[in-house]
Structure 1
């Protein structure tokens, strides 16, 4: 069969995250800081609503766009939490997680050869999805000295006459970086100048610390050129429910819905009813989980600094991205040796782009007890391997 397979799909490397996750699952007494998944159970009232929908026999297809009451509630939520106003009948699509939203947005936008700017380090799916949609991903390296925030100058340096879109992902996986309103205003000017479309992955919008998330779509002249992708996985601990959404201008949502119609039909009905409860009554759950993440965040940053590793303070998501350059090991070498010597799994920064060399990603979406054990082992490892 090998000669029958897609050369495009074959040419895409596997995820650098899953490699270490697969090893650690077979290693006794290992601790993984590698996967970005909340350690909380989905809040009971949300699970209960999903269960109740099954008991009531609500197992039918929904509209391709999603339950109309869910679309309305998500739009109410965006207005309430982020002052974003969208028409629930025309400007929203319920998707199978945020990942499907990104995929469908790219397929709706791109013609063969269109370039998409991908600021890196970034989540592992953006470049492969761009390639599979016929586009050309163009990495835009971000810098630690700027706390991995994107600048107008970095966009200007990579725009060509083939550039159609840019993917923004703030708060960031893997760095935890955010973009405040001032940062966004600076890049919005360049984006408008070059008439770019923005795919804004805001899945971590609720997980910010000491600052409130600002969407680029809220800035003048940006709503009409921005597709916001988000979902319920991170804020509500609903990863396995696989439910997200996209909001944006009617023309692009219509086309995304057409693609979704043929590829997916509709999102699982049970998940939609659970998500409806989350969007309607889940604000308190977000607050409680975010408070726990914030405690862990401060502990992790402080722990890495005590090890002698440079680590900027992330203000979003649930990751830290410390520099391991003082050990004089590559990111891959550090992560591999740490796993086999101390049974702690982290992700090498290069899994998120070449400019991630010299860094590792550690998720703190784990219990504080496990984090304490992990940093104790890592501290011993760093001490041993630092010249």
Structure 2
């Protein structure tokens, strides 16, 4: 009966522990930050249906941030809705889809739910989670319909260079000409401090679709606003039709608030970039103090990274379970790497949700759990 397999990542929307280092978001934006005490902008908003493609002004603002036309944008109910619509539109039984792993489990599950044969492209901790185009080439066939990537990746925060994406698109043109490259750019704008924001992959080729949302970089996960960008008018219309047949439209209230978010985009994102940079510095110093026990892959962007228990210290198969049990005793939650298809000694550490003082306190508890698990 179940089309979607169960995954323990669903616990992230259940009750929160004292220190939640499993989350992949930054601080949540509050309505007062958008509108202050003046809610007049919303007072006369009619609560009727929106358009299937999405509010025209909202699409124009999204397009401007990606240097594309507003006609290339389809607004969706969060980024996951965009990934689902793409899988539902492009794949079916007998088709193949390649996804780089570790990956956000819902992105993988959506491909399997529509009947596609899912072929994983392994990204390894020891390689810094860098994508090898030649490994991808070996997985491409004429039956491939989607190659699903994320840049920066979830759970690692590692970005895929633009040159690699162009190489991937060329390989697909040669070896899987009917396939579409889907790039999840949810964390693209979550650079650190004054670091340059990486360019969107929207211009990487004619069969490239990018997906993103307001959830991670803007702290507005509760608005459930995402989008897909494609320069192919036939695919765009197919996505609009699929959206209409699943949710009809997004909430006009959500879209109006999303407009307010994007109008203040640089202010909102800029504050979160400074917060992420501060917390990343704290995390990096802490990992340096625990270099005998831990190793990590430093992220390129985003509020998350992958850390691994060193096998030389934690040399038995039960060590990850002991570590998680020790964390639970201290009210701390980390995301096990197995949620994402990674090795058991890896875990995703989210450093964006907490204040800097809260992060430092949580990391002290993680250090105590490390010592307990090693005994």
TM-score (norm 2): 0.90
| Alignment of structure 1 residues 266-345 onto 2, 5 Å | 266-308=249-291, 309-324=294-309, 325=311, 326-328=313-315, 329=317, 333-334=321-322, 336-345=324-333
> Do 1:202 and 1:229's aligned partners in 2 also have CA atoms closer than 8 Å?
yes
| Alignment of structure 1 residues 172-187 onto 2, 5 Å | 172-187=153-168
**Unaligned residue ranges in structure 2 (runs of 5+):** none
Task: Report how far residue 52 of structure 1 moved.
Answer: 3.5
> Which digits, 9 at most, give the CA deviation of each residue in 1:83-125, with x for residues without a partner?
xx22x2x322111111101101111111212111110111111
> Within the alignment, does 1:157 sit opposite 2:134 as a pair?
no
- How many residues were matched structurally? 364
- Aligned CA distance change for structure 1 residues 285 and 340 (closer, same or farther; 3 Å): closer
Q: In the alignment, what sits opposite 2:99?
A: 118
> Which digits, 9 at most, give the CA deviation of each residue in 1:170-189, with x for residues without a partner?
11111111112233233333
Q: In the alignment, what sits opposite 1:192?
A: 173
- Aligned CA distance change for structure 1 residues 292 and 161 (closer, same or farther; 3 Å): same
- Aligned CA distance change for structure 1 residues 185 and 262 (closer, same or farther; 3 Å): closer
Task: Report how far residue 372 of structure 1 moved.
Answer: 0.9
Q: What is the SS of the residue equivalent to 1:322?
A: strand
> Which digits, 9 at most, give the CA deviation of each residue in 1:5-32, with x for residues without a partner?
x2x42xx43222234764x63x6xx311
Q: In the alignment, what sits opposite 1:18?
A: 10
Task: Report how far residue 56 of structure 1 moved.
Answer: 1.0
Task: Report how far residue 150 of structure 1 moved.
Answer: 1.2
How many angstroms apart in 2 are the aligned matches of 1:50 and 1:150? Answer: 48
> Do 1:188 and 1:216's aligned partners in 2 also have CA atoms closer than 8 Å?
no
> Within the alignment, does 1:368 sit opposite 2:356 as a pair?
yes
**Unaligned residue ranges in structure 1 (runs of 5+):** 1-5, 80-84
> Do 1:43 and 1:285's aligned partners in 2 also have CA atoms closer than 8 Å?
no
| Alignment of structure 1 residues 1-387 onto 2, 5 Å | 6=1, 8-9=2-3, 12-19=4-11, 22=14, 25=16, 30-42=18-30, 44=32, 46-47=34-35, 51-79=39-67, 85-86=68-69, 88=70, 90-194=71-175, 195=177, 196-209=179-192, 210-219=195-204, 222=205, 224-248=206-230, 249-308=232-291, 309-324=294-309, 325=311, 326-328=313-315, 329=317, 333-334=321-322, 336-353=324-341, 355-365=342-352, 366-386=354-374
Q: What is the SS of the residue equivalent to 1:311?
A: strand
Q: What is the SS of the residue equivalent to 2:155?
A: coil
> Do 1:227 and 1:247's aligned partners in 2 also have CA atoms closer than 8 Å?
yes
How many angstroms apart in 1 are the aligned matches of 2:41 and 2:197? Answer: 34
